[in-house]
Structure 1
Amino acid sequence: MVYPSLRDWLFSVKTFAAAMLALYLGLLFELPRPYWAMATVYIVSNPFVGATRSKALYRALGTALGASAAVLFVPPFVESPYLFSVVVALWTGTLLYLAISDRTARSYVFMLAGYTMPLIALPAVFNPTNVFDLAITRTEEILLGIVCASVVGGAVFPNRLAPSIVERTDGWFRDAVFYATETLSGHIAGASISACRQRLAATVNGLELLLSQLAYDHTRPDILNRTRDLRGRMQLLLPIMSSLADPLVALLGGQRERPAGLEPLLADVVKWFNMPLRPASQGRRPDPEADALRGRIAALQPPSAALATWEGALLSNALWRLAQLIDVWQDCRALRHLITAEDGTWKPRFRHWRLGGTERYFDRGIMLFSTASAVGAIIFACVLWISSGWNDGAGAVTLAAVACCFFAGLDDPAPQVFKFFTATAASVALAGLYLFVVLPHVHDFPMLVILFAGPFILVGTLIPRPQFNLATMLVAVNTATFISIQDAYDADFFVFLNSNLAGLAGLLYAFLWTQATRPFGAEIAARRLMRSSWADVALSASKQPIEDQRNLAARMLDRLMQLIPRLAATDDHRHPSIESFRDLRIAFNALDLRRLRPKLGGEAPAAIDGVLDGIRAHFETCISRRGRQQVPESLMSAIDAALARIVALGLANAAGAANAPDAAGAAGAPNAAGTPNAPSSAATSARQLRDALHALVGLRLSLFPATIASLTPPAPPTEEPAA
């Protein structure tokens, strides 16, 4: 068992002090429900100042918006209870959809506005004339708790968010080192490697929310931008490593003779990856090890003539990807130094047309279904409440609405809703113990603080831990709410029992509803993500115009980061994450070919068209048949034919350059005016042909990984004799 750390105890004591301050001020100002101020402190408090401030601001905005909606909708619809139920449900559903469409801290505004409206509006149906006062006092109580949590959290031993992000990235660095070590050793599969991929993706996904809170941590804009740059390169490392794995397996496995110098180079790259991160004071120093590795990569590059063999083509592809990997890793290390030191400038090593996209992927179908499930739950609960005439039924509906909103973004929300139910049941028991056993003997506020201190501080030490966060936060919030402390002791056992049993009934109803309407879990989400990725692969290989290829690449990469954890949560081993990486590489290589095609001459464009058409047709078949299909052999033939055309062009260019040494030597040399000559078209074409060759080799390896050990040379096509 891991006991709470000093940081956990400090957070708990600070939160308890803020909660007692909020409760005291609520009693002093004679607010009707001062316990809401106390509960709000536990809702918005976070171990980090930036997260607390952002959550406090967004909760204030969400509460004000939800309260305003209650004031707007209650008077005109209160006489039509069933219609009013639909209005409440649609409001909550609309705001819930907006909340799950925003993966930043700002989503809290919409979430709070969504379920605050029924929290205020439903109890007000019995006294609609009081809805304005109820909305105002509820807002005041919550704002009081927000202010107390923010002031105490920011003034007493504030804990900044930026160091925590550095700690998380350091964990990512350790996982990346292990993943690189295994990949560069020729290992691409296994339980430990799969688990490492999942941790890498989870860290990248988790940083998105933290970065949205970092701006509230008094972090300078340049450091915030560097942190975003670091996350972007962390996201790129996985697909680059995956694209390097297949050519390495082909070169180092089987009976093929291994290229001279490659294995020592890979071993030294692994050593460089395992070098400890430099202290912040050394972050701006150059990285001579990386420069030396790049020089060795350049020295191992095969000549143009060697690209006519698979060994040469594979080696060229592997070295190209290895250079990209070194550039990205050097950028990650440099950015980590700059973020830690909060000083210095950065010149990126990795530059690519795919960088800079901002688009994210959202499964709108799943989101709409989740929202519709919550809307249906609220409407049906209201119908049960209205038809039964249950006076305390409003409490059941409101807690059901809160539970459905809280976990709507999860693939399988039912287990979390049940945790909500069990935590609330524990809160009811604890609140009953306090209300009917302890509080009758309390006669002043200091004694109340002393009696609250033990349980609340102990529970508070577990809130910072992710595995206990939900349950312990709910226990603290619900216990404070259920005790319902007023300026004078006034407890009725039957009122307490009826109101809290209504809440438990609402949560149990939410659990049963969620299990009935959303029993699918992560499997269906993974399948939908897979089919969506196939659609983008088909788009990448089509002739359809793409408005912004960078945004398309960003969307595909973001979807892959969502898919990897879901694949780990399913029992379907037919679609492991390694195949999803290959799908992404196929799309990226197809996009590269689309960009290169107009610049190539001869018969290469027609051959590339045949490859792209085959890729598009294959993935459209996968989509229509709702499952991964075997890649047709005709596509392999098309790729090999395109490779042969590219090799033929490369050999022709090399021969032309050899026959014109003077022209080749003059390219780039100063002319009479002292300015460099333009490079020859042959030299430019050679770079483009090599890029096309890399894309085609990547497609061959990704689409037909089972044939890696039996590749045959892409010999140039035989020309037909002249008539």
Structure 2
Amino acid sequence: MMQLPELIPAVRAAVAALAALAVAHLLRLENPYWAAMTALIVVQPTRALLFEKSYYRLIGTAIGSAAAWLLLLQTASPLVLTAALSIWIAACVGVGNLLHGLRSYAALMAACTCAVIAMSGYQNPGHADDLAFGRVACIIIGILVTTCVTALFTPRHSMDDLDRRLTHVTADAVRWLGLLGCARSQAAAELEQEILREAADIEALLDAGGMSASFKNHRRNARSLLGALLSLLALGRLDAEPPVRQEQGSAATKWREAWGRQLQELAAGLERAPISEWCRKVKAVAAETGLHLPQVGRALYDLAGANEVVLDHGMYDGAKEPAYHLIRHRDRQEAGRAAVRGGLVIAVVGLVWSLTGWSKGPLMLMALSIMISIFSNKEHPAMFVGNIFIGAATGSALAVFCRVVLLDGVSGFTETVAVIAPFILLGAYAMQHRRTVIPATDATLFFIFVIQPGVPVTIAAADLAIGAVAMVSGVAAAYIGYTLLVPVNPAIRRRSLLAAIAKDVARMSANEQGVAPARIRAKLQHRVLRLLALAKSCDTNRVAVVSGAIALLALTASIERLRQKLQHDEFHPEDARQTREKLARISGAARKPPVQSCLLHPWADALSAIIAPLPPNQAEAEQEPAAMGSEIVLAI
């Protein structure tokens, strides 16, 4: 039974799709059903996302349409079309996998739009101009109609939820630091892991915003806050915990206990006090902390400053970079693999079509181009395409049934819309549920694409069914590409990410010319958050990944500090020589492929051993990588 909360947005989506279809039909555009499909695709939970996705979809469509139009002007040979499409899709998919957010969506839209129009133009010679123009015009109509029908009912993007989560994670970081002030505890370890998980979730949500300058500035400031928070975790691990041999009742112990209580009170008061007042108090505590723990004091001060800017919706001085920031991870290796996959799959299927002359080959290539491009930057694209296959098969079967049985003898546009409206409404309703949103979306889109409302029916029922099978086969071909041809899944992405992290550690340890440790740290911090996000999708021990990520942050903070000490000649010459040797060994170990796959574990054990030393006989049995990590931390 349909529930009202899901039924109302479903009705709005269905009305938007049918209205866009009607407008495109009245304007006599080629393939007016493209407008209906666009109307369904651009519906978003917030107004800012609606406008942003619409904008980038239009940009990608315009670029892809222009490319297809130029291609169709040059050739009508299936073989040449296949070769050109393979190169174009490979390039767009590669770029799309290097970009982030909806900029990536624009590049991927350019890839599949070119294939869709090129194949449509091949099937309809002499209509290249109308198809290219009609595609762009239908996109515009779909966007405008959806905006008119749904924008007034779509909530504005609110930064309140983001601010609430940032406030909470900041309070947890201060509370965690207070727990470290006395002694290592299970509560501190659990809170530490929760902070990193929440930071990873927040970072993943920052792209779901809008195009406004205020939100972009807020997003930038939020990432600076996350960078400051990660640095505090790393330095807290190294400096904030009391030495094992510290005597009870000593002045240092009393100070740490009082300091811990101060931090606990500050953490509890964050959500009650005005932000500016709370940050002023934290900065005062940070100044006092700096007298005992200089690095931690500075990190705490920077966290308060970043928090003040974010939650007061302020702006950094444009001439001055924030103390901490994140440089977003770009996986060039996986982007290259995605480009090869996209071009190769299109080339294989296109070559078969060119050699056999199968009349439904263009339809298969249309569906394949969408699947192999739009979902290529997902963490687990095969899973998406597997769900889409179910939806595509269901929607195509319903479309054939509807066209052959319900629309038999029906030629009027109004009657056609009346018949298909319940199917579109049912699909829009299923799109409102989390479990069915993916198959329902593609079932509805494939239903519209196969039935092609607004286009005169000139093919027999058998040909329509074969065309539907060809399109579903395109989805299956994409699934094979993602799983067998050039496979990709969260585990593969995780290995690639670990390799990038290993390279960062190696470069920081080796002190290569022209390499700024702070820049490497900013890259590595974002990669750590990506690693934690992947742990959700990968069949791994997430607790171990979080523990290793914390240890890695502490290790890189150690290396960065050692480099600073070496640069300022703060070591005795012999100690400096030994330290350089140890850093060189870490760099060499990080560059070895066997280390990359288990990079975090020996160094995590090493840093844990510093925090909670092992019994002497067990500590002597530690392996070489752990020993190197221990020596480096001890040298600070």
- TM value normalised by structure 2: 0.82
Cα distance in 2 for residues equivalent to 1:128 and 1:713: 72
Q: Post-superposition shift, 1:401?
A: 1.8
Q: Cα deviations across residues 495-515 of structure 1 (Å, max 9, x unaligned)?
A: 321111111111112212321
Number of the residue aligned with 1:507: 475
Q: Post-superposition shift, 1:607?
A: 2.5
After TM superposition, list the pairs within 5 Å mapping 1:82-481 onto structure 2. Answer: 82-154=79-151, 156-161=152-157, 163=158, 165-171=159-165, 173-174=167-168, 177=171, 181=175, 184-185=178-179, 186-187=185-186, 194=193, 197-207=196-206, 209-211=207-209, 213-215=210-212, 221-222=213-214, 224-245=216-237, 247=239, 251=243, 257=248, 259-275=253-269, 277-278=271-272, 282-285=274-277, 287=279, 289-290=281-282, 293-294=285-286, 297=289, 301-302=291-292, 316=293, 320-321=295-296, 324-325=299-300, 327-329=302-304, 331-332=306-307, 334-339=308-313, 345=314, 355=324, 359-439=327-407, 455-457=423-425, 459-461=427-429, 463=431, 468-481=436-449
Counterpart of 1:32 (choices 30, 33, 36) is 30
Change (3 A) 1:427 1:235: farther
1:585 is the counterpart of 2:554: yes
Change (3 A) 1:543 1:107: closer
Secondary structure of residue in 2 paired with 1:230 = helix
Change (3 A) 1:424 1:18: same
| Alignment check: 8 A CA contact 2:96 2:108 kept | yes
Cα distance in 1 for residues equivalent to 2:631 and 2:363: 73
Q: Post-superposition shift, 1:128?
A: 3.7
| Alignment check: 8 A CA contact 1:622 1:629 kept | no
Cα distance in 2 for residues equivalent to 1:127 and 1:288: 69
Secondary structure of residue in 1 paired with 2:454 = coil
After TM superposition, list the pairs within 5 Å mapping 1:641-656 onto structure 2. Answer: none
| Alignment check: 8 A CA contact 1:586 1:703 kept | no
Cα distance in 1 for residues equivalent to 2:61 and 2:218: 33
Cα distance in 1 for residues equivalent to 2:301 and 2:506: 30
After TM superposition, list the pairs within 5 Å mapping 1:465-614 onto structure 2. Answer: 468-486=436-454, 492-519=460-487, 521-568=489-536, 569-571=538-540, 576-600=545-569, 603-604=571-572, 607-614=575-582
Number of the residue aligned with 1:676: none
After TM superposition, list the pairs within 5 Å mapping 1:47-62 onto structure 2. Answer: 47-62=45-60
| Alignment check: 8 A CA contact 2:111 2:369 kept | no
Q: Post-superposition shift, 1:40?
A: 0.8
Counterpart of 2:613 (choices 702, 707, 715) is 707
Number of the residue aligned with 2:624: none
Q: Post-superposition shift, 1:39?
A: 0.8
| Alignment check: 8 A CA contact 1:48 1:159 kept | yes
Percent of aligned pairs sharing the same letter: 17
Change (3 A) 1:124 1:455: closer
Cα distance in 2 for residues equivalent to 1:263 and 1:450: 74
What amino acid is aligned across from residue 582 of structure 1 in structure 2?
A: A
Cα distance in 1 for residues equivalent to 2:301 and 2:264: 10
Cα distance in 1 for residues equivalent to 2:108 and 2:482: 18
Number of the residue aligned with 1:691: none
Farther-moved stretch of structure 1 (571-580 vs 52-61): 571-580
| Alignment check: 8 A CA contact 1:395 1:502 kept | yes
Cα distance in 1 for residues equivalent to 2:392 and 2:341: 22
Cα distance in 1 for residues equivalent to 2:321 and 2:203: 20
What amino acid is aligned across from residue 33 of structure 1 in structure 2?
A: N
Q: Post-superposition shift, 1:175?
A: 5.3
Q: Post-superposition shift, 1:376?
A: 0.9
Cα distance in 2 for residues equivalent to 1:557 and 1:517: 32
- TM value normalised by structure 1: 0.73
Question: What value does the CA root-mean-square deviation take over the aligned residues?
Answer: 4.1
Secondary structure of residue in 2 paired with 1:108 = helix
Cα distance in 2 for residues equivalent to 1:609 and 1:472: 64
* Residues matched between the structures, number: 608
Cα distance in 2 for residues equivalent to 1:562 and 1:12: 34
Cα distance in 1 for residues equivalent to 2:432 and 2:297: 40
Change (3 A) 1:442 1:577: same
Cα distance in 1 for residues equivalent to 2:4 and 2:305: 34
Change (3 A) 1:399 1:41: same
Change (3 A) 1:153 1:619: same
Cα distance in 1 for residues equivalent to 2:45 and 2:593: 49
Rg comparison, structure with higher value: 1
Q: Post-superposition shift, 1:384?
A: 2.1
Unpaired stretches in structure 2, ≥5 consecutive residues: 180-184, 620-629
